[in-house]
Amino acid sequence: MKKKFALVCAFLMVLALAGCGGADSSSASTAASTVSSASQAGAESQEGESATPTLDAIKEKGVFTLMTATGFPPFEYLGADGQPAGVDIDVGQMIADELGVEYEVLDMDFNLLVEALKSGKGDMIGAAMTVTPERAEQVDFTDTYATAGQVLLLPADSEITDVEQLKSGEYTATVQATTTGDIYAQEELGLTDLLQFKNAVECASALANGKADAAVLDNVAAASLVKTYDGQLKMLEEMVTQEDYALAVAKGHEDLVELANQVIAENADAIAQSMTEHEAAASEN
């Protein structure tokens, strides 16, 4: 009897162990299945999110909107038809063509551009905007598509030969408000009594009409204005700053920055040709 009892106990223990083992295996299998399902769902969710949300939104809207500030030839000015024209306008058209959508240009004062971009009034700023650390805190910049620097634009009969002469206080200087020329004149030259205008064209007009003695402007715009005011204005060739121009995009729209960089890289020759053509066209207007 003892032998039989022992055998029965052993048999029951084997069954119990087999039952426990079966339960653990089933639980592990269920857990693995749950993890697998969750991972698959996560992967599907990630696949469902577009890698180009900004570009998708522009394509859905059907219009790419560039914001600019005319009055800064050859980058942006009013053409013979009264519409915005210039290098930046052409680059914007290249981006719109790459997206396959319509193109719209909004013209406004330069000092309003960044806030307008941040509030969503347009998709990009194309306004010969110099890349600065302060601006980079508010917007994202594309790669550089042009370089420039600040120079002095003067009446043709001016005796000023050096930017340092402006520090004497004997001359009236004019600048385009909120630009790097404005910042340079105030912070580097210490000029506080400046005539601030909304664009470079108005600065040149002040010089030609005897309202100012010198303008601190980007060299490309200054050179274009010398041609426009044939014989009335001159430019000192020495650049007092070195600057990079880039397009500006609202923070977080990396896919649009990437597309713009691609367009800039692939159209370097076309952009250079645009510069030449608009330098000539702007001087005729």
Phi then psi for 236, rounded to 5 degrees?
-75, 125
Rounded to an integer, the average pLDDT of 178-198 is: 95
- CATH code for position 164: 3.40.190.10
* Percent of all residues in the chain with a pLDDT value above 90, rounded to a whole number: 79
Residues 111 and 156 in one domain: no
Give 86-127 pLDDT, tens digit per residue: 999 999 999 999 999 999 999 999 999 999 999 999 999 999
**What's the pLDDT band for 14 if we cut at 50, 70, 90?**
very low
Residues 139 and 254 in one domain: yes
Residues 71 and 154 in one domain: no
Quick check: 171 pLDDT over 80? yes
Give 189-198 pLDDT, tens digit per residue: 999 899 999 9
Residue at 254 is within a domain: yes
Residues 136 and 82 in one domain: yes
In order of 29, 76, 93, 262, the CA distances from 129 in angstroms are: 61, 11, 17, 19
Q: Residue 135 belongs to what domain range? A: 53-147+243-284
CA distance 152 to 162: 8
CA distance 189 to 89: 33
C-beta of residue 218 within 8 angstroms of C-beta of residue 241 = no
Residue at 249 is within a domain: yes
Residue at 31 is within a domain: no
Position 133, amino acid: P
The structural domain count of the chain equals: 2
**What's the pLDDT band for 47 if we cut at 50, 70, 90?**
low
CA distance 156 to 133: 35
Quick check: 17 pLDDT over 90? no
Residues 141 and 276 in one domain: yes
Residues 124 and 258 in one domain: yes
Give 59-83 pLDDT, tens digit per residue: 999 999 999 999 999 999 999 999 9
Residue at 28 is within a domain: no
Residue at 17 is within a domain: no
Residue at 136 is within a domain: yes
C-beta of residue 57 within 8 angstroms of C-beta of residue 122 = no
Residues 138 and 249 in one domain: yes
Calculate the dihedral angle through the C-alpha atoms of 170, 174, 177, 183, rounding to the nearest 10 degrees. -50
Residue with token string 């009409």: 209
Residues 197 and 142 in one domain: no
Residue at 18 is within a domain: no
Residues 191 and 73 in one domain: no
**pTM for the whole structure:** 0.79
Residue at 43 is within a domain: no
Residues 142 and 251 in one domain: yes
Residues 113 and 160 in one domain: no
Residues 182 and 158 in one domain: yes
